[in-house]
Amino acid sequence: MPRPALYSSSRNARRPAPETVEPVAAPATESAAYATPPDAPAKQVGANISRRHLRTLWVVVALLTALLIASLWQHQRPAARKITQEDIDAAVLRTLESTTLPSAAARAVDAIAPSVVRVVGYSRGKNGKEEVERGVGTGVVIVDKGIILTNLHVVLGSDRIAITFHDGLETTASITGAQPENDLAVLQAHKVPDDLAAAPMRSTQDLRAGDQVVAVGFPFGIGPSASAGVVSGLKREFTSPEGKRQLSNLIQFDAAANPGNSGGPLVTMDGEVVGIVTAILNPTPARTFIGIGFAVPIENAASAVGMPPF
119-137 burial by CB neighbour count: b if 16+ within 10 A, else e?
A: bbbbeeeeeeeeeeebbbb
Q: Which amino acid is at 220?
A: F
CA distance 28 to 147: 130
Catalytic residue among 153, 158, 225, 232: 153
Is 211 annotated in the active site? Answer: no
Q: What is the dihedral sign for C-alpha 73, 75, 76, 80?
A: positive
Q: In this structure, what are the phi and psi dihedrals at residue 144, rounded to the nearest 5 degrees? A: -70, 0
Catalytic residue among 115, 158, 183, 254: 183
Q: Yes or no: say if 157 and 131 are a contact pair by the CB < 8 Å rule.
A: no
- Return the H-helix or E-strand segment holding 41: helix 40-76
Is 144 annotated in the active site? Answer: no
Question: Across the strands, what pairs with 148?
Answer: 141, 187
Is 262 annotated in the active site? Answer: yes
Q: In this structure, what are the phi and psi dihedrals at residue 108, rounded to the nearest 5 degrees? A: -65, -40
* Nearest in space to 283 (alpha carbons), one of 229, 241, 232: 241
- Return the H-helix or E-strand segment holding 75: helix 40-76
Q: Yes or no: say if 257 and 250 are a contact pair by the CB < 8 Å rule.
A: no
Q: Give me the active site residues, please.
A: 153, 183, 262
